[in-house]
Structure 1
Amino acid sequence: MNQTDEARRMHTQHELHTEQTARTEPVVIGVDLGTTSTKAVAFRTDGTLEASSSVGYPLDEPHPGHAVQDPLVILDAVLAAVREVVDEVGADRVAGLAFSSAMHSLIGLSPTGEPLTEVVTWADTRSRAQAERIRASAGGLALHRRTGTPVHPMSPLPKLVWFHEQEPKLCERVGFWVGIKEFVLLRMCGALVVDHSIASATGLMNMETLTWDGEALTVAGILPEQLPELVATTTVLPGLTDEAAAATGLPQAMPVVVGAADGPLANLGVGAVRPGVAACSIGTSGAMRVVVDRPAVDPLGGVFCYALTATRWVVGGAINNGGLVLGWAGDALAPDLDEPPEEELLALAARALPGSGGLLMLPYLLSERAPHWSSLPRGAYVGLTRAHRREHLVRAALEGVCLQLALVLRSMRAAGLDVTQIRATGGVMRSPLWRQMLADTFGMDIDFALGQEGSGFGAALLGMEALGLIESIDVVADMVEIEQTVRPDPAAAAVYASLLPVFTELYDALVPAFMSLRRLTPSLPVDLDESEPPGA
């Protein structure tokens, strides 16, 4: 055997040894309970994805403003997704489970833990009147500043007020009020606990004391005994129930890390954990978040503040109207385009110059969250002239989304945050036009990360830290690979910088019109489909 053949043999043996070693390395399964599906993802400690599974479920809208789900269907989806991953990687390699969940859900349980209500999701807006009443009261902004959660129909606080006003008999039967992750953990582990991250998104927990806020509970009409025990996000539960172990194929002694909320964990998913590094995502909706070492809310209450770990909080804001605005533009402005129309729409928008010839769109098709936190606003085009064409209307719609995120960024800075770097992800971010427009609107370089499993990856990392498999979640900053850095075009950035103050003023200027339209709408003929798709 010559030296070349011997070198090849040694290289092959090394590769086989490396592959065999990888197959025996422990994994942590991140379980992400999303709005329309649960995803289970198994990661090694170096960030390598070993296996994934996703099981979907419907978001039901039985009445206008209602957006609910069956908690037992979601539980079955969790068990099925975990089982599929366990079957692929092998139960003996699983070091633990760690959970992520969509925020703001609410379920009423009987004293024995049986669901008395459906899952009332963040997208449910039935408590709009209650939220507006609380927000307008003298204590509305104070509640936001103490709890970190804006007073908005998405939040469990106004939802609880709605239940007490509209379903008092039901409330008398409720022993506990929980969210979907708490229900799943109760069934899988037999523990009624809620992590500080999910709790900080209820509007019921005091950020400074990490206890249930007495005034918030009084407004909600509940007692602290009706809520789960507050625990740290890194809390490890001792194991699974007999039923959960049998359903997942895991041993009963499997450690389960309680985990956190999906928004804060999404920052982990893109490696945005260091000071000044913000995560920006645009899917159906959108969000901006940055990790800080202590709670912070801006004086006007434009941002939320949710816990991640004992020493990390996430400050930012979510917007209702992201990529769905492009979908609306395709349906309303360009129904003649081929299916799918996204690429043609973007090409159409690219024909217009930045600023759309002085045309602005307020993209409030589904009202809005940050930084206004109001169900009142509606979408509007302002500045329309005879010279504007379809490409200007489409581009102005996309620019409106970016300008709204710029308002969120401004509110984050008003909260005292020094945002020096942005990492962006999301379905629409595959488009070069969206990427450039976002960089131009922010006037900052934006890094685009290679695909990760988002909140599921973040949950797995948090689980690794809790189980002592990694030193700190800080390692993620070096795990995530940057695919592209987009720099702002100076001329376009100057255009958007000049338009942002006008865009900002338009909201306040149109509030009287929004209020008049709300009063008038019930008396007007309606042939619109106002169903609300789930957000990202």
Structure 2
Amino acid sequence: MGHLVLGIDIGTTGVKGILIGPGGERLAEATASHDLHSPYPGWAEEEPAEWWQGVQAVCRQLLRGRNPREIAAVGCSGMVPALVLLDEKGQVLRPSIQQNDARAVEEIEQLRRELDQERLFAITGGYTNQQHVGPRLMWLQRHEPEVWRRTRWVMGSYDYIVYRLTGQRSLEINWAVESGLFNIYRREWDAELLQASRLHPELFPPVHLPTEVVGEVTQAAAKETGLFPGTPVIAGSADHVASALAAGLRENGDLLIKFGAAGDILYCLDRLEAHPQLYIDYHDIPGLYLLNGCMAASGSLVKWFVTEVLGWEASGESYRRLDEDASIVPPASEGLIVLPYFLGEKTPIFDAQARGLFFGLTLSHGRGHMFRAILEAVIYGFQHHIEVLTARGYTIRRVVATDGGVRSGLWRQIAADVLGMPVTSFPEHPGSALGVAFVAGMAGGLFRDWAEIEAFAGQALRNEPNLKAHARYQEAYRLYRQLYETLKPLFPQAALLGQQPEAT
């Protein structure tokens, strides 16, 4: 039996891999980039072939100089619920439609009318929203009927990688849980919900818990990745769930904010209890659950500003310069406020037609103001999520932050100041790849206790809130909330203009 485990995360902008040992060793890490495409306003697509190319490159980097027999198990995580469509032969039919895609506006409205939303919430833990699978598949039925006619299987991002590794079609349970089609209490597809979306259960592979081994690395996959044939592969984990595990969320009241391409927030609890403004997931740890929210644009908005507005390369040097510019701007950016709804918005407002906004912009504002206002807007979004938690009686025990954005000392401090709470961050934390590697290690017997994950956490940084800045931010936050409520009736008009063809 091998003594190492390998974790792979399919992220929004790249594949990340990690190789870990039994005593807390992080032995190797590797990355490979891919692109997020938005050919029309609100669309978000990726090419599964690019994911697989990235997985091959990452595995070969991680295994360089090692005997592949050392790997006891492989785990994959990724975005959920992304949509990958396969034909009868297992070939990808079109680009993946990502979880933050906002095209299915009409289908969402149709299902909101046709479905008893309270029954839907009682069964699935949520109301019809843009992340649900049904509306996006209905959009495909209407707009790409030939693709839909040829569709035999529907699965998620990391499920597709598991399929490429093992030849076995499977769904990890949290893809099903977040689909809006699955009874989360009975762990089965709901016939009425499937019928409303013109779907049948045979479209979906068998559903598995994260630690279940669904197959072994095939000879073909071994040749492409360098992994040893027969290596066990688990069902995997949703990226945000694996990240929560890696960050040490194991007790009621633990809260994680993720500064990734999307802005995830996760709250740990020991009972399966849905929230009307948040998603619910099964924790990788049996018996625990996660209430979670997701802002469609976070780090992707930062990158957009750097590359599309400034025309700079999205490099460490670019972000360092912008941090310096923004650090001399006072809290609340001298009256400049951003609404970060550049891809519509998921939780907690569930508004696919919401749009991004710079409000209060004057000739006295510079790029530092604009950059800082974007960073602040993401944290305002996190505060909004915390408010919907505390409004229902949940208490926050501690706040942990991970993912790429926490490398910015400025962004970390803004988080502490806006939230008014200490924030513990792990700037070099591998996140989801580490979490799913640990899940694979539990499945493979390399680890025996979920608490062992803490040995991998790395150096922690703690930011204390500045109470004067916090007071200033609360004024700006109230305006941030008011802006959305005021502009909400106008967003559909902007969305409609974005869909109309250019005048000739």
Matched with 1:467 is 444
Letter in 1 for 2:414: M
Equivalent of 1:400 in 372, 377, 399: 377
The answer to whether structure 1 residue 103 and structure 2 residue 80 are counterparts is yes
Indicate the SS of the match to 2:495: helix
Distance 1:421-1:152 versus aligned 2 partners, 3 A rule: same
Distance 1:286-1:521 versus aligned 2 partners, 3 A rule: closer
Indicate the SS of the match to 1:50: strand
Equivalent of 2:282 in 291, 307, 312: 307
Q: How far apart are residue 400 of structure 1 and its match?
A: 2.1
Please list every run of 5 or more consecutive structure 2 residues that lacks an aligned counterpart in the other structure: none
Larger radius of gyration: 1
Distance 1:386-1:245 versus aligned 2 partners, 3 A rule: closer
Alignment of 1:308-387 (within 5 A): 308-309=283-284, 310-326=286-302, 341-382=318-359
Q: Deviations over 1:167-217 (max 9, x none)?
A: 334433322222233333234323222121222222222211111122321
Indicate the SS of the match to 1:296: coil
Normalized against structure 2, the TM-score is what?
A: 0.88
Matched with 1:225 is 202
Distance in 1, Cα, partners of 2:122 & 2:142: 25
Alignment of 1:53-92 (within 5 A): 53-61=30-38, 65-92=42-69
Deviates more, 1:115-124 or 1:25-34: 115-124
Distance 1:60-1:358 versus aligned 2 partners, 3 A rule: closer
Indicate the SS of the match to 2:445: coil
Normalized against structure 1, the TM-score is what?
A: 0.83
CA contact (8 A) 1:368 1:377 kept: yes
Indicate the SS of the match to 2:186: coil
Matched with 2:468 is 491
Identity %: 26
Distance in 1, Cα, partners of 2:241 & 2:410: 27
Distance in 1, Cα, partners of 2:147 & 2:365: 54
Please list every run of 5 or more consecutive structure 1 residues that lacks an aligned counterpart in the other structure: 1-23, 527-536
The answer to whether structure 1 residue 133 and structure 2 residue 110 are counterparts is yes
Distance 1:503-1:36 versus aligned 2 partners, 3 A rule: closer
Indicate the SS of the match to 2:256: strand
Letter in 1 for 2:207: L
Distance in 1, Cα, partners of 2:428 & 2:310: 31
Letter in 1 for 2:105: R
Q: Superposition RMSD on alpha carbons, in Å?
A: 3.2
Distance in 2, Cα, partners of 1:198 & 1:479: 26
CA contact (8 A) 1:277 1:290 kept: yes
Q: How far apart are residue 142 of structure 1 and its match?
A: 4.7
Alignment of 1:43-442 (within 5 A): 43-61=20-38, 65-135=42-112, 139-140=116-117, 142-144=119-121, 146-148=123-125, 151-298=128-275, 301-309=276-284, 310-326=286-302, 341-382=318-359, 394-414=371-391, 416-442=393-419
Deviates more, 1:310-319 or 1:147-156: 147-156
Q: How far apart are residue 73 of structure 1 and its match?
A: 4.3
Q: Deviations over 1:307-328 (max 9, x none)?
A: 2333222212121332444456
Letter in 2 for 1:311: G
Distance in 2, Cα, partners of 1:202 & 1:338: 33
CA contact (8 A) 1:148 1:306 kept: no
Letter in 2 for 1:308: H
Q: How far apart are residue 456 of structure 1 and its match?
A: 0.8
Letter in 2 for 1:474: A
Distance 1:327-1:172 versus aligned 2 partners, 3 A rule: closer
Distance in 2, Cα, partners of 1:410 & 1:358: 23
Letter in 2 for 1:365: F
Q: How far apart are residue 388 of structure 1 and its match?
A: 6.7
Distance in 2, Cα, partners of 1:241 & 1:454: 27
Q: Deviations over 1:388-407 (max 9, x none)?
A: 77765554343222111110
Q: How far apart are residue 91 of structure 1 and its match?
A: 1.8
Distance 1:136-1:387 versus aligned 2 partners, 3 A rule: farther
Letter in 2 for 1:275: N
Distance in 1, Cα, partners of 2:169 & 2:144: 24
Q: How far apart are residue 457 of structure 1 and its match?
A: 0.4
